[in-house]
Structure 1
Amino acid sequence: MGFITHCWKSAKAELRRLARWALGAWLLVASCAWAQTSVAELTELRAERRDAALYVTAQLKLELGPAVEDALVKGLAVHFVAEAEVMRDRWYWYDRKIGIATRYYRLAFQPLTRRWRLNVSNEPISGAGLGGSISQNFETLSEALGVIRRQSGWKVAEMAELDLDARQYIAYRFRLDISQLPRPFQIAAGNQAEWTLVASRQLRLTTDMVR
Protein backbone atom coordinates (compact mmCIF):
# COMPACT_ATOMS: atom_id res chain seq x y z
CA MET A 1 0.00 0.00 0.00
CA GLY A 2 2.82 2.37 0.87
CA PHE A 3 4.49 1.62 -2.44
CA ILE A 4 1.30 2.48 -4.37
CA THR A 5 0.86 5.71 -2.42
CA HIS A 6 4.46 6.68 -3.14
CA CYS A 7 4.01 5.99 -6.84
CA TRP A 8 0.80 8.03 -6.94
CA LYS A 9 2.49 11.00 -5.27
CA SER A 10 5.40 10.73 -7.71
CA ALA A 11 2.99 10.60 -10.66
CA LYS A 12 1.13 13.70 -9.46
CA ALA A 13 4.40 15.56 -8.99
CA GLU A 14 5.46 14.58 -12.49
CA LEU A 15 2.11 15.73 -13.93
CA ARG A 16 2.45 19.08 -12.16
CA ARG A 17 5.99 19.46 -13.55
CA LEU A 18 4.81 18.64 -17.08
CA ALA A 19 1.90 21.06 -16.74
CA ARG A 20 4.24 23.85 -15.66
CA TRP A 21 6.56 23.03 -18.58
CA ALA A 22 3.65 23.01 -21.06
CA LEU A 23 2.37 26.35 -19.74
CA GLY A 24 5.84 27.88 -19.98
CA ALA A 25 6.27 26.60 -23.54
CA TRP A 26 2.86 27.95 -24.53
CA LEU A 27 3.63 31.38 -23.04
CA LEU A 28 6.97 31.41 -24.88
CA VAL A 29 5.34 30.56 -28.22
CA ALA A 30 2.55 33.08 -27.62
CA SER A 31 5.00 35.83 -26.72
CA CYS A 32 7.11 35.10 -29.83
CA ALA A 33 4.03 35.14 -32.04
CA TRP A 34 2.93 38.41 -30.50
CA ALA A 35 6.36 39.96 -31.01
CA GLN A 36 6.31 38.93 -34.66
CA THR A 37 2.88 40.37 -35.44
CA SER A 38 2.77 43.24 -37.92
CA VAL A 39 2.49 46.64 -36.28
CA ALA A 40 1.15 49.98 -37.54
CA GLU A 41 0.89 52.74 -34.95
CA LEU A 42 0.68 56.49 -35.44
CA THR A 43 3.25 58.11 -33.17
CA GLU A 44 2.91 61.70 -34.43
CA LEU A 45 0.32 63.75 -36.30
CA ARG A 46 0.58 67.52 -36.63
CA ALA A 47 -0.53 70.32 -38.91
CA GLU A 48 1.11 73.61 -39.79
CA ARG A 49 0.45 76.60 -42.00
CA ARG A 50 2.94 77.39 -44.77
CA ASP A 51 2.59 79.65 -47.80
CA ALA A 52 -1.18 80.10 -47.47
CA ALA A 53 -1.75 76.35 -47.26
CA LEU A 54 -2.22 73.73 -44.55
CA TYR A 55 0.33 70.89 -44.40
CA VAL A 56 0.30 67.63 -42.47
CA THR A 57 3.17 65.60 -41.04
CA ALA A 58 2.74 62.04 -39.75
CA GLN A 59 5.14 59.56 -38.18
CA LEU A 60 4.42 55.83 -38.01
CA LYS A 61 5.75 52.88 -36.11
CA LEU A 62 5.59 50.29 -38.88
CA GLU A 63 6.82 46.71 -38.66
CA LEU A 64 5.94 43.79 -40.96
CA GLY A 65 5.31 40.31 -39.58
CA PRO A 66 7.03 37.16 -40.92
CA ALA A 67 4.13 36.22 -43.21
CA VAL A 68 4.20 39.60 -44.96
CA GLU A 69 8.00 39.61 -45.26
CA ASP A 70 7.98 36.06 -46.60
CA ALA A 71 5.40 37.01 -49.25
CA LEU A 72 7.57 39.97 -50.28
CA VAL A 73 10.72 37.87 -50.56
CA LYS A 74 8.82 35.37 -52.72
CA GLY A 75 7.93 38.10 -55.22
CA LEU A 76 4.59 39.51 -54.01
CA ALA A 77 4.29 43.31 -54.11
CA VAL A 78 2.60 44.89 -51.08
CA HIS A 79 0.62 48.13 -51.29
CA PHE A 80 -0.02 50.74 -48.60
CA VAL A 81 -2.31 53.78 -48.61
CA ALA A 82 -2.03 56.86 -46.38
CA GLU A 83 -4.76 59.49 -46.44
CA ALA A 84 -5.31 62.78 -44.62
CA GLU A 85 -8.63 64.64 -44.98
CA VAL A 86 -9.58 68.08 -43.71
CA MET A 87 -13.18 67.96 -42.50
CA ARG A 88 -15.63 70.61 -41.27
CA ASP A 89 -18.21 69.73 -38.64
CA ARG A 90 -21.87 69.93 -39.72
CA TRP A 91 -24.57 69.10 -37.18
CA TYR A 92 -27.32 68.73 -39.78
CA TRP A 93 -25.54 66.41 -42.24
CA TYR A 94 -22.32 64.50 -42.81
CA ASP A 95 -19.15 66.48 -42.13
CA ARG A 96 -17.96 68.40 -45.18
CA LYS A 97 -14.66 67.47 -46.83
CA ILE A 98 -12.47 70.56 -47.33
CA GLY A 99 -9.26 69.01 -48.63
CA ILE A 100 -7.42 65.72 -48.97
CA ALA A 101 -3.92 64.35 -49.51
CA THR A 102 -3.30 60.71 -50.42
CA ARG A 103 -0.11 58.70 -50.87
CA TYR A 104 0.09 55.26 -52.46
CA TYR A 105 3.06 53.01 -51.80
CA ARG A 106 4.10 49.85 -53.63
CA LEU A 107 6.84 47.81 -51.97
CA ALA A 108 8.55 44.93 -53.78
CA PHE A 109 11.68 42.81 -53.52
CA GLN A 110 13.94 42.34 -56.56
CA PRO A 111 15.54 38.85 -56.37
CA LEU A 112 18.13 39.46 -59.08
CA THR A 113 19.63 42.52 -57.40
CA ARG A 114 18.62 41.58 -53.83
CA ARG A 115 17.32 45.11 -53.38
CA TRP A 116 14.00 46.59 -52.34
CA ARG A 117 12.03 48.89 -54.62
CA LEU A 118 9.49 51.41 -53.33
CA ASN A 119 7.15 53.29 -55.65
CA VAL A 120 5.33 56.35 -54.30
CA SER A 121 2.50 58.16 -56.07
CA ASN A 122 -0.43 60.50 -55.55
CA GLU A 123 -2.51 58.17 -57.70
CA PRO A 124 -3.33 54.47 -57.23
CA ILE A 125 -0.47 52.22 -58.36
CA SER A 126 -1.25 49.13 -60.40
CA GLY A 127 1.15 46.36 -61.32
CA ALA A 128 1.44 47.61 -64.89
CA GLY A 129 1.05 51.33 -64.26
CA LEU A 130 4.20 52.44 -62.46
CA GLY A 131 5.06 55.21 -64.87
CA GLY A 132 3.53 58.04 -62.86
CA SER A 133 5.19 57.07 -59.59
CA ILE A 134 8.54 57.95 -58.04
CA SER A 135 10.75 54.87 -57.68
CA GLN A 136 13.51 54.36 -55.12
CA ASN A 137 15.78 51.37 -54.50
CA PHE A 138 17.09 50.34 -51.07
CA GLU A 139 19.60 47.82 -49.76
CA THR A 140 17.40 46.75 -46.83
CA LEU A 141 13.72 46.43 -46.02
CA SER A 142 14.16 48.70 -43.01
CA GLU A 143 15.41 51.52 -45.23
CA ALA A 144 12.42 51.18 -47.55
CA LEU A 145 9.97 51.15 -44.63
CA GLY A 146 11.68 54.24 -43.25
CA VAL A 147 10.34 56.28 -46.18
CA ILE A 148 6.80 55.07 -45.50
CA ARG A 149 7.15 55.74 -41.77
CA ARG A 150 8.02 59.42 -42.27
CA GLN A 151 5.28 61.34 -44.09
CA SER A 152 6.04 65.05 -44.03
CA GLY A 153 4.94 68.18 -45.82
CA TRP A 154 1.63 66.97 -47.26
CA LYS A 155 -0.47 69.83 -48.56
CA VAL A 156 -4.08 69.07 -47.59
CA ALA A 157 -5.92 72.38 -48.12
CA GLU A 158 -5.62 76.01 -49.09
CA MET A 159 -6.02 78.36 -46.14
CA ALA A 160 -8.68 80.27 -48.08
CA GLU A 161 -10.84 77.12 -47.98
CA LEU A 162 -10.84 76.99 -44.18
CA ASP A 163 -13.43 78.75 -42.03
CA LEU A 164 -11.99 80.55 -39.00
CA ASP A 165 -15.28 80.26 -37.13
CA ALA A 166 -16.03 76.60 -37.88
CA ARG A 167 -15.00 73.45 -36.07
CA GLN A 168 -12.59 71.54 -38.32
CA TYR A 169 -10.34 68.53 -37.99
CA ILE A 170 -7.89 66.33 -39.89
CA ALA A 171 -8.79 62.65 -40.25
CA TYR A 172 -5.69 60.53 -40.93
CA ARG A 173 -5.69 56.84 -41.90
CA PHE A 174 -2.95 54.42 -42.95
CA ARG A 175 -3.58 50.85 -44.10
CA LEU A 176 -2.16 47.89 -45.95
CA ASP A 177 -4.29 47.58 -49.08
CA ILE A 178 -5.08 43.87 -49.43
CA SER A 179 -7.35 44.62 -52.40
CA GLN A 180 -4.15 44.92 -54.48
CA LEU A 181 -3.10 41.36 -53.64
CA PRO A 182 -3.88 38.44 -55.98
CA ARG A 183 -7.32 37.02 -55.26
CA PRO A 184 -6.13 33.88 -53.41
CA PHE A 185 -3.96 36.05 -51.14
CA GLN A 186 -6.85 38.43 -50.46
CA ILE A 187 -8.95 35.57 -49.10
CA ALA A 188 -6.13 34.19 -46.94
CA ALA A 189 -4.89 37.60 -45.75
CA GLY A 190 -8.36 38.66 -44.65
CA ASN A 191 -8.17 36.11 -41.82
CA GLN A 192 -4.62 36.86 -40.66
CA ALA A 193 -3.73 39.58 -38.16
CA GLU A 194 -0.34 40.12 -39.82
CA TRP A 195 -2.09 41.50 -42.89
CA THR A 196 -4.51 43.72 -40.94
CA LEU A 197 -2.41 46.86 -40.74
CA VAL A 198 -4.46 49.97 -39.93
CA ALA A 199 -3.65 53.17 -38.04
CA SER A 200 -5.96 56.17 -37.74
CA ARG A 201 -6.39 59.35 -35.72
CA GLN A 202 -8.21 62.67 -35.76
CA LEU A 203 -6.52 66.00 -35.10
CA ARG A 204 -8.71 68.94 -34.16
CA LEU A 205 -7.61 72.19 -35.84
CA THR A 206 -7.10 75.07 -33.43
CA THR A 207 -7.45 78.77 -34.17
CA ASP A 208 -3.65 79.15 -34.27
CA MET A 209 -3.42 76.54 -37.03
CA VAL A 210 -5.91 78.21 -39.37
CA ARG A 211 -5.24 81.93 -38.89
Structure 2
Amino acid sequence: MTDSSTPCWKKPPESAALAGVWRGRWPHLLLACLLWFVACLPGEVRAQSGASITQMQVERTPEGMLLSAALAFELPEHVEDALLKGITMHFVLQAQVLRERWYWSDLEMAHSARYLRLSYQPLTRRWRLHTSSTPFTGSGLGLALSQTYDDLAEAINAMQRIARWKIADAGQVPEDMPVTVQMRFGLDMSQLPRPLQIGAFGRSGWNLQMTQSLRLAGGGAP
Protein backbone atom coordinates (compact mmCIF):
# COMPACT_ATOMS: atom_id res chain seq x y z
CA MET A 1 0.00 0.00 0.00
CA THR A 2 1.25 3.49 -0.83
CA ASP A 3 0.55 6.42 1.49
CA SER A 4 -0.55 9.68 -0.16
CA SER A 5 -1.39 13.14 1.12
CA THR A 6 -3.03 16.21 -0.39
CA PRO A 7 -1.78 19.71 0.56
CA CYS A 8 -4.48 21.62 2.33
CA TRP A 9 -5.07 25.40 2.44
CA LYS A 10 -4.60 26.90 5.84
CA LYS A 11 -6.74 29.81 6.94
CA PRO A 12 -4.53 32.80 7.75
CA PRO A 13 -4.50 33.93 11.34
CA GLU A 14 -7.22 36.39 12.22
CA SER A 15 -4.67 39.11 12.98
CA ALA A 16 -3.20 38.82 9.48
CA ALA A 17 -6.64 39.08 7.91
CA LEU A 18 -7.42 42.22 9.92
CA ALA A 19 -4.08 43.73 8.92
CA GLY A 20 -4.99 43.25 5.28
CA VAL A 21 -8.30 45.05 5.80
CA TRP A 22 -6.58 47.99 7.52
CA ARG A 23 -3.99 48.25 4.77
CA GLY A 24 -6.76 48.68 2.23
CA ARG A 25 -8.80 51.16 4.23
CA TRP A 26 -6.31 53.39 6.06
CA PRO A 27 -6.01 56.02 3.24
CA HIS A 28 -9.78 56.55 3.35
CA LEU A 29 -9.75 56.74 7.14
CA LEU A 30 -6.91 59.28 7.05
CA LEU A 31 -8.83 61.46 4.58
CA ALA A 32 -11.94 61.30 6.76
CA CYS A 33 -9.91 62.39 9.80
CA LEU A 34 -8.43 65.36 7.90
CA LEU A 35 -11.87 66.49 6.72
CA TRP A 36 -13.20 66.24 10.26
CA PHE A 37 -10.26 68.28 11.56
CA VAL A 38 -10.86 71.08 9.03
CA ALA A 39 -14.58 71.12 9.80
CA CYS A 40 -13.85 71.51 13.52
CA LEU A 41 -11.43 74.42 13.17
CA PRO A 42 -12.40 77.51 15.21
CA GLY A 43 -14.45 80.17 13.50
CA GLU A 44 -11.52 82.61 13.65
CA VAL A 45 -9.44 80.25 11.50
CA ARG A 46 -12.07 79.79 8.82
CA ALA A 47 -12.96 83.50 8.76
CA GLN A 48 -9.51 84.42 7.47
CA SER A 49 -10.31 82.68 4.20
CA GLY A 50 -12.68 85.60 3.50
CA ALA A 51 -9.73 87.92 2.81
CA SER A 52 -9.81 88.76 -0.88
CA ILE A 53 -9.04 91.23 -3.63
CA THR A 54 -12.51 92.49 -4.42
CA GLN A 55 -11.65 94.81 -7.32
CA MET A 56 -8.78 94.82 -9.78
CA GLN A 57 -8.26 97.00 -12.85
CA VAL A 58 -5.26 97.52 -15.13
CA GLU A 59 -4.85 100.44 -17.53
CA ARG A 60 -2.39 100.64 -20.40
CA THR A 61 -1.31 104.27 -20.71
CA PRO A 62 1.53 106.12 -22.47
CA GLU A 63 3.45 106.13 -19.18
CA GLY A 64 3.02 102.39 -18.56
CA MET A 65 0.67 99.86 -16.97
CA LEU A 66 -1.29 101.18 -13.98
CA LEU A 67 -3.02 98.91 -11.47
CA SER A 68 -5.92 99.89 -9.24
CA ALA A 69 -7.47 97.51 -6.71
CA ALA A 70 -9.49 97.18 -3.53
CA LEU A 71 -8.69 94.66 -0.80
CA ALA A 72 -11.02 93.23 1.83
CA PHE A 73 -9.48 91.80 5.00
CA GLU A 74 -9.28 92.04 8.75
CA LEU A 75 -6.03 91.72 10.63
CA PRO A 76 -5.65 88.28 12.24
CA GLU A 77 -6.01 88.33 16.03
CA HIS A 78 -2.33 87.69 16.79
CA VAL A 79 -1.20 90.37 14.34
CA GLU A 80 -3.37 93.06 15.93
CA ASP A 81 -2.33 91.98 19.41
CA ALA A 82 1.35 92.23 18.48
CA LEU A 83 0.83 95.70 17.01
CA LEU A 84 -0.80 96.92 20.22
CA LYS A 85 2.26 95.65 22.11
CA GLY A 86 4.52 97.82 19.98
CA ILE A 87 5.71 95.23 17.43
CA THR A 88 5.93 96.57 13.89
CA MET A 89 4.23 94.58 11.12
CA HIS A 90 5.39 94.41 7.52
CA PHE A 91 3.25 93.68 4.45
CA VAL A 92 4.16 93.13 0.81
CA LEU A 93 2.12 93.95 -2.29
CA GLN A 94 3.41 92.37 -5.52
CA ALA A 95 2.34 92.48 -9.15
CA GLN A 96 3.61 90.36 -12.02
CA VAL A 97 2.91 90.78 -15.72
CA LEU A 98 3.10 87.34 -17.33
CA ARG A 99 3.04 86.20 -20.94
CA GLU A 100 1.66 82.72 -21.45
CA ARG A 101 3.86 80.20 -23.25
CA TRP A 102 2.40 76.87 -24.35
CA TYR A 103 5.81 75.18 -24.51
CA TRP A 104 7.20 76.39 -21.16
CA SER A 105 6.27 78.20 -17.95
CA ASP A 106 4.87 81.73 -18.23
CA LEU A 107 7.40 84.46 -19.02
CA GLU A 108 7.62 87.36 -16.56
CA MET A 109 7.48 90.60 -18.53
CA ALA A 110 7.48 92.93 -15.52
CA HIS A 111 7.48 92.76 -11.73
CA SER A 112 6.76 95.43 -9.12
CA ALA A 113 6.53 95.41 -5.34
CA ARG A 114 5.31 97.78 -2.69
CA TYR A 115 6.34 97.40 0.94
CA LEU A 116 4.21 98.57 3.87
CA ARG A 117 5.30 99.02 7.48
CA LEU A 118 2.56 99.47 10.07
CA SER A 119 3.31 100.46 13.65
CA TYR A 120 1.52 101.72 16.76
CA GLN A 121 2.86 104.56 18.92
CA PRO A 122 1.60 104.00 22.49
CA LEU A 123 2.60 107.47 23.74
CA THR A 124 0.52 109.30 21.15
CA ARG A 125 -1.94 106.42 20.59
CA ARG A 126 -1.60 106.91 16.87
CA TRP A 127 -0.81 104.59 13.98
CA ARG A 128 1.90 105.16 11.39
CA LEU A 129 2.04 103.59 7.95
CA HIS A 130 5.20 103.73 5.85
CA THR A 131 5.09 102.81 2.15
CA SER A 132 8.17 102.13 0.03
CA SER A 133 9.09 100.66 -3.35
CA THR A 134 12.15 99.00 -1.78
CA PRO A 135 12.41 96.63 1.21
CA PHE A 136 12.85 98.18 4.63
CA THR A 137 16.22 97.60 6.25
CA GLY A 138 17.49 97.78 9.80
CA SER A 139 19.46 100.92 8.97
CA GLY A 140 16.39 103.06 8.36
CA LEU A 141 13.23 103.68 6.36
CA GLY A 142 14.96 105.05 3.28
CA LEU A 143 12.69 107.07 0.97
CA ALA A 144 9.46 105.65 2.37
CA LEU A 145 6.33 107.79 2.41
CA SER A 146 4.81 108.15 5.87
CA GLN A 147 1.25 108.82 7.01
CA THR A 148 -0.19 108.97 10.53
CA TYR A 149 -3.73 107.88 11.50
CA ASP A 150 -5.86 108.30 14.59
CA ASP A 151 -7.06 104.68 14.70
CA LEU A 152 -6.29 101.27 13.24
CA ALA A 153 -9.37 101.23 11.01
CA GLU A 154 -8.13 104.31 9.12
CA ALA A 155 -4.69 102.77 8.62
CA ILE A 156 -6.18 99.50 7.35
CA ASN A 157 -8.49 101.39 5.01
CA ALA A 158 -5.46 103.14 3.49
CA MET A 159 -3.74 99.78 2.98
CA GLN A 160 -6.82 98.37 1.24
CA ARG A 161 -6.89 100.99 -1.53
CA ILE A 162 -4.42 100.80 -4.44
CA ALA A 163 -4.83 103.62 -6.95
CA ARG A 164 -3.04 103.76 -10.32
CA TRP A 165 0.08 101.94 -9.17
CA LYS A 166 2.65 101.77 -11.95
CA ILE A 167 3.60 98.12 -12.41
CA ALA A 168 5.37 98.31 -15.79
CA ASP A 169 7.10 101.04 -17.78
CA ALA A 170 5.91 102.16 -21.19
CA GLY A 171 7.26 99.82 -23.85
CA GLN A 172 8.12 97.12 -21.33
CA VAL A 173 4.99 95.19 -22.32
CA PRO A 174 3.86 95.53 -25.99
CA GLU A 175 0.38 97.03 -26.14
CA ASP A 176 -0.98 94.37 -28.50
CA MET A 177 0.35 91.46 -26.43
CA PRO A 178 -2.17 89.40 -24.36
CA VAL A 179 -0.86 89.11 -20.80
CA THR A 180 -1.97 88.09 -17.33
CA VAL A 181 -1.46 90.41 -14.36
CA GLN A 182 -1.13 88.54 -11.08
CA MET A 183 -1.42 90.45 -7.82
CA ARG A 184 -0.50 89.23 -4.34
CA PHE A 185 -0.78 90.81 -0.91
CA GLY A 186 0.13 89.44 2.47
CA LEU A 187 1.92 89.67 5.78
CA ASP A 188 5.71 89.41 5.48
CA MET A 189 6.50 86.78 8.12
CA SER A 190 10.24 87.08 7.51
CA GLN A 191 10.22 90.56 9.11
CA LEU A 192 8.82 89.34 12.43
CA PRO A 193 11.19 89.11 15.42
CA ARG A 194 12.84 85.68 15.43
CA PRO A 195 10.90 84.28 18.43
CA LEU A 196 7.61 85.30 16.81
CA GLN A 197 8.61 83.72 13.48
CA ILE A 198 9.08 80.38 15.22
CA GLY A 199 5.84 80.65 17.21
CA ALA A 200 3.79 81.91 14.25
CA PHE A 201 4.80 79.18 11.83
CA GLY A 202 1.72 77.25 10.72
CA ARG A 203 -0.64 79.14 13.05
CA SER A 204 -3.79 80.53 11.50
CA GLY A 205 -3.82 83.53 13.84
CA TRP A 206 -0.98 84.95 11.75
CA ASN A 207 -2.25 83.98 8.30
CA LEU A 208 -2.98 86.80 5.86
CA GLN A 209 -2.40 86.08 2.16
CA MET A 210 -4.45 86.77 -0.96
CA THR A 211 -3.96 86.45 -4.72
CA GLN A 212 -5.88 87.60 -7.80
CA SER A 213 -5.22 87.38 -11.54
CA LEU A 214 -6.55 89.46 -14.42
CA ARG A 215 -6.28 88.46 -18.07
CA LEU A 216 -5.69 91.28 -20.57
CA ALA A 217 -6.28 90.87 -24.26
CA GLY A 218 -4.19 92.79 -26.77
CA GLY A 219 -4.75 96.52 -26.44
CA GLY A 220 -5.48 96.34 -22.70
CA ALA A 221 -9.06 95.10 -22.78
CA PRO A 222 -9.78 92.48 -20.07
Matched AA of 1:116: W
Is residue 137 of structure 2 the alignment partner of residue 122 of structure 1?
A: no
Partner of 2:99 in structure 1? Answer: 88
Partner of 1:179 in structure 2? Answer: 190
Residue number among 97, 100, 113 corresponding to 1:102 in the alignment = 113
| TM value normalised by structure 1 | 0.78
Residue number among 140, 150, 153 corresponding to 1:139 in the alignment = 150
Residue number among 166, 172, 176 corresponding to 1:161 in the alignment = 172
Partner of 1:26 in structure 2? Answer: none
Compared CA separation, residues 134 and 188, structure 1 to 2 (3 A): same
Compared CA separation, residues 94 and 34, structure 1 to 2 (3 A): closer
Aligned residues: 182
Compared CA separation, residues 59 and 91, structure 1 to 2 (3 A): same
Question: Does structure 2 retain, via aligned residues, the 8 Å contact 1:101–1:154?
Answer: no
Is residue 217 of structure 2 the alignment partner of residue 189 of structure 1?
A: no
Cα shift at 1:93:
2.6
Structure ranking higher in helix proportion: 1
Please, which runs of 5 or more residues in structure 2 have no aligned partner?
1-40
CA distance in 2, matches of 1:143, 1:39: 20
Over alpha carbons, which structure has the higher Rg? 2
CA RMSD for the aligned pairs?
2.3
1:188 counterpart SS class: helix
Q: After the TM superposition, which segments of 4 or more aligned residues of structure 1 sit over 6 Å from their partners?
A: none
Residue number among 37, 52, 67 corresponding to 2:78 in the alignment = 67
| TM value normalised by structure 2 | 0.74
Matched AA of 1:81: V
Matched AA of 1:190: F
